[in-house]
């Protein structure tokens, strides 16, 4: 017998992000991670960033979580302390597991088009926080699409949609879908009922759940946690572009100090000491400076 509730998940909160500055001269709309949207377990942060040629995120460390950078426009380059580097453009993504430690730089390629995209931070379960760093890089063409009906294209960045599965390995079970919908369409999307989830609007207006709660660009809609498996999303007169992100909550203590996210205050102190002394994963941090920042 199914214990799933019928109908669509509803929206428990709608928050419109306002632009602010972060890094060096980078404009970000902060969704998850802003004061009103703290600790949406397992997610720590979602930023929609706009960075022109004078801005970026120069040399900084991470420990204890993953960053997923998904490009919408322009080009972004990165370089880390282990000599790993690359460039991603529109539709491409970099899924970076910082694990025990990454020090890197993230900068736009200095062209006419500013770098515009999304960066998501996913917390790691306790047993993976000190794992070896890993990169999973996918070009736009390597991200599978679901096309459940005419005028609905779903890029499956992580998890699955309408029988199409992503190959990205997630240490924290995560669904990350990019939707493009023509006007006057309705789609249902299954999300595991135990996941916490949200929708973030990029373009156009959407109507979510049985009540048709309105979602706009720069707005975050938090999905209800009521044991329901699907969400229903519709467009009216405009086409729409948005992402649906959901993940299995870790239900572990979260202690965050800047770019280190651990389970206890002691582990945060350890992270700062390890970074300062160049040890336990930060060996290559000693004297490293990026060549692109």
Q: Does 275 bind ligand FJE (CB under 6 A)?
A: no
| Residue (49 or 288) nearer to ligand FJE, CB | 49
Q: Does 84 bind ligand FJE (CB under 6 A)?
A: no
CB of 65 to ligand FJE, least distance (A): 11
Was 60 annotated as part of a binding site? Answer: yes
CB of 18 to ligand FJE, least distance (A): 15
Tokens of 235: 């467009």
Tokens of 150: 């005419």
Tokens of 122: 């996913």
| Residue (102 or 240) nearer to ligand FJE, CB | 102
DSSP assignment string, 127-193:
GGTTSPPEEEEE-GGGS-EEEEETTEEEEEEESEETTEE-----SS-EEEEEEEE-SS-EEEEE--T
Q: CA 222, CA 68: separation in Å to the nearest integer?
A: 20
Q: Does 66 bind ligand FJE (CB under 6 A)?
A: no
CB of 95 to ligand FJE, least distance (A): 13
Beta strand 5-8 pairing with 228-235: parallel
Q: Does 23 bind ligand FJE (CB under 6 A)?
A: yes
Q: Does 60 bind ligand FJE (CB under 6 A)?
A: yes
Among 11, 27, 28, 154, binds ligand FJE (CB under 6 A): 28
Q: Does 106 bind ligand FJE (CB under 6 A)?
A: yes
Binding mask 117-156 toward ligand FJE (x if CB under 6 A, else -) reads --x-------------------------------------
Was 62 annotated as part of a binding site? Answer: yes
Q: Does 89 bind ligand FJE (CB under 6 A)?
A: no
Helix, strand, coil share (%) of the chain residues, nearest 5: 10, 50, 40
- Of the listed pieces 22-30, 178-186, 223-231, 232-240, which binds ligand FJE according to CB under 6 A? 22-30
Q: Report the site for ligand FJE in 29-58 (rule: CB under 6 A).
A: 47, 49, 57
Q: CA 233, CA 188: separation in Å to the nearest integer?
A: 6
CB of 26 to ligand FJE, least distance (A): 7
CA-CA-CA-CA dihedral for 90, 167, 148, 12, to nearest 10: -80
Q: Among candidates 177, 170, 199, 195, which has minimal Cα distance to 250?
A: 195
Q: CA 232, CA 112: separation in Å to the nearest integer?
A: 38
Sequence-ordered alpha helix ranges (H) in the chain: 265-277
Contact 122, 70 (CB under 8 A): no
CB of 55 to ligand FJE, least distance (A): 10
Was 184 annotated as part of a binding site? Answer: no
Was 116 annotated as part of a binding site? Answer: no
Q: Residues marked as binding for Fe cation?
A: 60, 62, 104, 106
In the complex, the residues that contact ligand FJE under the rule CB under 6 A are 22-23, 28, 47, 49, 57, 60, 69, 106, 119
């Amino acid at each position: 017998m199914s214990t799933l509730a019928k109908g669509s998940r509803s929206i428990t909160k709608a928050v419109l992000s306002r632009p602010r500055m972060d890094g060096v001269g980078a404009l970000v709309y902060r969704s998850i991670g802003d004061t009103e949207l703290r600790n949406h377990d397992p997610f720590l942060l979602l930023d929609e960033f706009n960075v022109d040629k004078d801005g970026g995120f120069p040399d900084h460390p991470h420990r204890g979580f993953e960053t997923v950078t998904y490009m919408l426009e322009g080009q972004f380059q990165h370089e880390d302390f282990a000599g790993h580097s690359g460039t991603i453009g529109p539709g491409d993504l970099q899924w970076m597991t910082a694990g025990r430690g990454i020090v890197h730089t993230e900068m736009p390629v200095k062209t006419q088009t500013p770098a515009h995209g999304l960066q998501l931070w996913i917390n790691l379960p306790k047993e993976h926080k000190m794992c070896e760093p890993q990169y999973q890089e996918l070009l736009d063409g390597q991200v599978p699409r679901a096309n459940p009906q005419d005028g609905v294209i779903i890029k499956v960045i992580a998890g699955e949609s309408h029988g199409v599965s992503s190959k990205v390995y997630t240490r924290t079970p995560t669904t990350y879908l990019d939707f493009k919908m023509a006007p006057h369409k309705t789609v249902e999307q299954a999300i595991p009922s135990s996941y916490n989830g949200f929708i973030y609007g990029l373009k156009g207006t959407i109507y979510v759940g049985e009540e048709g709660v309105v979602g706009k660009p720069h707005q975050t809609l938090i999905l209800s946690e009521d044991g329901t498996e699907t969400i229903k999303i519709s467009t009216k007169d405009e086409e729409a572009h948005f992402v649906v992100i959901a993940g299995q909550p870790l239900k572990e203590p979260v202690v965050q100090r800047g770019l280190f996210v651990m389970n206890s205050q002691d582990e945060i102190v350890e992270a700062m000491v390890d970074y300062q002394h160049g040890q336990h994963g930060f060996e290559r941090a000693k004297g490293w400076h990026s060549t692109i920042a």
